[in-house]
Amino acid sequence: MYQYIIRRILVFVPMLFALSIIVFALAKAAPGDPFTGKILDPNVDPEIFEQQREELGLNKPLPIQYVNWVSSFIKGDFGESIAYNGRSVQSLIVERFGNTMRLGIFSLALTLIVSIPIGIYSARKPYSPLDYAATTFGFMGLAIPNFFFGLVAIYIFAIKIGWFPAQGSIAGPGMEGFSELMSRIHHLILPGITLGLAGTATYMRYMRSEVLDVLESDYIRTARAKGMSERNVLYKHTLRNALIPIITLMGFELGTLLGGAIITEQVFNFPGLGTLFISSVINRDYPVVMAISLLLGIAIIIGNLLADIFYSIVDPRIRYD
């Protein structure tokens, strides 16, 4: 196992190098820079913007810009934001990171709590009314875009009924203790459900399909023939093998946790990395855009490594030698 992890980490090095090139190239291929359009202001001398470009190194050759950016990133220096008055990129990311992690963890927990039991029940009771209802929900969850469901949820539960807030992450500044916790949970419910909608539908369909396949396996019939109870058959044999595709999907969820589902955060005006990313793209704040994009790529790579490790925990037959 340890040799496998070391090999995977070594493979990550060229992957991260290629990812950094792609992120940098896409950012530089976008038209304009943070100062594009500002020179149209007749009250500002265009030479001022040229001086700022020179100070930020935007006039240097692209290979030099890439080397400077990568070397600083490796040292933990993500640079300074251009649109946010020279604030460091680290401070902007740290400021939003907590909200994004809370939203991602809440939506993932909600997804697993809802999808796995329903998927198991649908497999044990196929073609039952609940199975048909779960299938309908699964197709609707995959078909309805997150932003549309979010707008409908805001209209019904925030505007019409008034149960939940329509935006933000907390009721107001200065809150602390239990009141702060309850306020944050209250603000997480609508965006968390919206973010977890597609994941719940996907996990539920995968869980149903995998449990059905495992229940028809020879070793399950053998366990039943030996007199093992249905509870032990389900939880000791069936569930562990059926969880493997779910773990595969969760390997990509780490990127979602960090990204906070950009569209969902934008719909609910949730102050996380997603809204920061969108505003940085609009303002052409490329240091922030490149840092978030590279962090998302690193998170997905780490998530896949963790998924491989969890494979051997869930299924002892899997060995990495």
Non-local CB neighbours of 170 within 8 Å, separated by 6+ positions: 180, 183, 184, 187
Q: How far is the C-alpha of 243 from the C-alpha of 188, rounded, in Å?
A: 27
Res 321 pLDDT > 50? yes
Reported as a single tens digit per residue, the pLDDT across 152-190 is 989 899 888 888 888 887 877 777 777 888 888 888 888
Q: How confident is the model at residue 260 (pLDDT cuts 50, 70, 90)?
A: low
pLDDT the model gives residue 39: 44
Average pLDDT, the chain: 79
At residue 40, the pLDDT reads 47
Map out the domains of the chain as residue ranges.
89-281
pLDDT per position as a tens digit, 264-315: 888 888 888 888 888 888 877 888 888 888 888 888 888 777 777 777 666 6
Q: Is domain 89-281 classified as CATH 1.10.3720.10?
A: yes
Please determine, for residue 24, whether its predicted confidence score (pLDDT) is greater than 80: yes
Contacts of 30 (CB under 8 A, 6+ apart): 284, 286
Angle at alpha carbon of residue 259, lines to 166 and 83, rounded to 5°: 85
